[in-house]
């Protein structure tokens, strides 16, 4: 007898699933029994490795799909991949994100389009396209917000603004899509450093401002995602802050 898995029979689509936080979320939901569609844009090798790992554990339980989420015409095919392969879509995790500094005085329209496009526009339109399938499954949308959607990050005006918009989108969609679809967000704090790197002194300063006096991990975020997917049927319109008390 196999132990019961809380997401057995579920299909989950995770955007930006081939790298960083997306990998942790995809692995955690897959380990809970879900079939996973691993979306990526350019990380084909990483996506293929993750899918192979998941399919080795449970045959046919993962597939990958590549597209640029800023291309709205490509989004229906992404949802179709899940529905055609697994017959349903239970959870959409809008995790894919673009992050880089935009100091005021040098912000360009292209930067605005890129950062707002990936962090706010894509989650809105992908959620809208996925809504019929999610409604049929009485499913869930999880938006990856950021603590800097509530408190601005220095030199990241456009990113912080986009994430603030995503927080409001989360609450608005919860109101619009209920009662069939729950919509929640997760706002990570210091769980991964930017790929561009940070000075050690700044890392120490950031960690020192957390109540728990330590850095978190991608697994902390993934556990929150699993809670929302498996154990929170009466939770919607909420943003769970996973930051060790950094935003206190």
Mean pLDDT by 10 residues, the chain (248 residues): 84 97 98 98 96 98 97 98 98 97 97 98 98 98 97 95 98 98 97 89 94 97 98 98 95
Take residue 231 and report the two structure tokens written for it. Answer: 């154990």
Q: Does domain 11-242 have CATH number 3.40.50.300?
A: no
Query: Under 8 Å CB-to-CB from 197, ≥6 apart: which residues?
Result: none
Q: Are 26 and 38 in contact (CB under 8 A)?
A: yes
Structure tokens at 206: 């950031």
Confidence at residue 2, expressed as pLDDT on a 0 to 100 scale:
56
* Residues assigned a catalytic role: 159
Q: Is the distance from CB of 23 to CB of 96 less than 8 angstroms?
A: no
| pLDDT given at position 80 | 98
Whether 57 and 30 have beta carbons less than 8 Å apart is answered as yes
C-alpha span between 72 and 29 (Å, rounded) = 26
Q: How far apart are CA 132 and CA 117, in angstroms?
A: 23
- Reported in sequence order, the residue ranges of the chain that DSSP labels E, i.e. its strands, are 11-14, 35-40, 62-66, 91-94, 140-144, 182-188, 239-242
- Are 150 and 164 contacting, i.e. CB atoms less than 8 angstroms apart? yes
Q: How far apart are CA 165 and CA 138, in angstroms?
A: 25
How many angstroms separate the CA atoms of 67 and 34, rounded?
22
Strand partners, 92: 13, 141
Task: Give, as one character, the DSSP assignment of residue 188.
Answer: E
């Amino acid at each position: 007898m196999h132990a019961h898995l809380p997401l057995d029979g579920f299909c989950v689509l995770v955007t930006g699933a081939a790298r960083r936080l997306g990998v942790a979320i995809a692995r955690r939901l897959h380990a809970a029994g879900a079939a996973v569609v691993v979306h990526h844009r350019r990380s084909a090798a990483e996506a293929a490795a993750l899918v192979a790992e998941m399919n080795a554990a449970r045959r046919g339980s993962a597939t990958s799909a590549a597209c640029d989420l800023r291309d709205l015409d490509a989004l229906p095919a992404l949802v179709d991949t899940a529905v055609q392969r697994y017959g349903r879509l239970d959870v959409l995790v809008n995790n894919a994100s673009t992050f880089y500094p935009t100091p005021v005085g040098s912000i360009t329209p292209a930067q605005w389009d890129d950062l707002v496009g990936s962090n706010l526009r894509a989650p809105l339109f992908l959620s809208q396209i996925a809504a019929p399938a999610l409604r049929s499954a009485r499913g869930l949308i999880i938006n990856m917000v950021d603590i800097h959607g509530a408190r601005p990050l220095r030199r990241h005006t456009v990113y912080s603004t986009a994430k603030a918009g995503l927080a409001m989108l989360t609450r608005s969609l919860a109101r619009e899509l209920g009662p069939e679809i729950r919509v929640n967000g997760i706002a990570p704090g210091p769980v991964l450093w930017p790929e561009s790197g940070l000075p050690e002194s700044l890392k120490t300063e950031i960690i020192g401002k957390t109540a728990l006096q330590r850095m978190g991990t991608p697994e902390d975020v993934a556990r929150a995602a699993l809670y929302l997917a498996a154990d929170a049927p009466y939770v919607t319109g909420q943003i769970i802050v996973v930051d060790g008390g950094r935003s206190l």
